[in-house]
Chains A and B, each alone.
Chain A
């Protein structure tokens, strides 16, 4: 986490793709933090092996010279080294497997019931989001479409091909269940900051559980080829705006509240005010 408010240095976290970016975006969920930690674990062993192999290779090339080593040796057996070079490389994957399986199984574990369910439905070439937890009848879902803002309509400071007109608004530090599906062809809903990528398959509901730990605006893009404008479709549209528990009190006053005024306002906030907060 990069935010250091006590030092008065609030550096913006990287939640969208940066030009020439090499590393991950900053983690916003424990899952993404786990993925980054696993990456570091594996990378360590990777460097070990790389250095070892390069050393052997360079050494062999360097000493392969008719004056330095005129008589080549023909070694075809060497029991000790054969045993070592079999055992050692099989131990390294065991060290890699331990954090890897730990993360894998923890991702699937359902520890707590989700607090809110959001449906993300992929269309060609936009997203529809439905919040249906407070319906009293079949037709009352809070539903809205999320289109990418075309380049000509961007305001100063907005990211090209990442901004959408209506963002998904979601409470922070809450267990969310996101149900991803599609209305026409395959899409995929991905938010790198949250470590989420889930295919949207027509006729199937895929569930992902996340718990975003910090407020912010997170961006993602469609991750499964879905036609001409695939590159111009934002997956979550930006999962924008994770608000604090304030969201709870302002938006959801039980089933009697009409369609969560703050939610609607926040969801449509991009066009009028840009990225507020």
Chain B
């Protein structure tokens, strides 16, 4: 192949070695928003966390959390 396409997704996180990845998804989402808060909206480093949480979390969960953040009712440590 002339251009090798790289398949990439959220890597296996050793903090979450078991089958239950709920916390993994939640943690990535929180990491992304904390990164945004720390580094500003247009940071490139934060895009990595965004890809991770988008890979792991179902779209419905992300929409719900985005709404909660807008309403100020998000239950995580942002």
Contacts and interface: CB of A to CB of B under 8 A. Distances in A.
Interface in A195-219: 198, 203-208
Contact-residue size bin, chain A (C-beta under 8 Å from the other chain): 35 or more
B56 A179 contact: yes
A117 B58 contact: no
Interface stretch (B18-26, B33-41, B70-78): B18-26
A114 B58 contact: no
Contacts of B11: 113-114
Contacts of A252: 5, 7
Interface residues of B, number: 28
27 contacts: A114-B11, A114-B12, A116-B7, A117-B9, A117-B55, A117-B56, A132-B54, A132-B59, A133-B7, A133-B8, A133-B9, A133-B51, A133-B55, A138-B63, A171-B7, A177-B12, A179-B58, A181-B58, A198-B19, A204-B22, A205-B24, A205-B56, A207-B20, A208-B19, A248-B5, A252-B5, A252-B7
Interface of B: 1, 3, 5, 7-12, 17-22, 24-25, 51, 54-60, 62-63, 66
Shortest 8 CB-CB distances between A and B: which pairs?
A115-B7, A113-B11, A117-B9, A117-B55, A205-B21, A207-B21, A110-B12, A135-B54
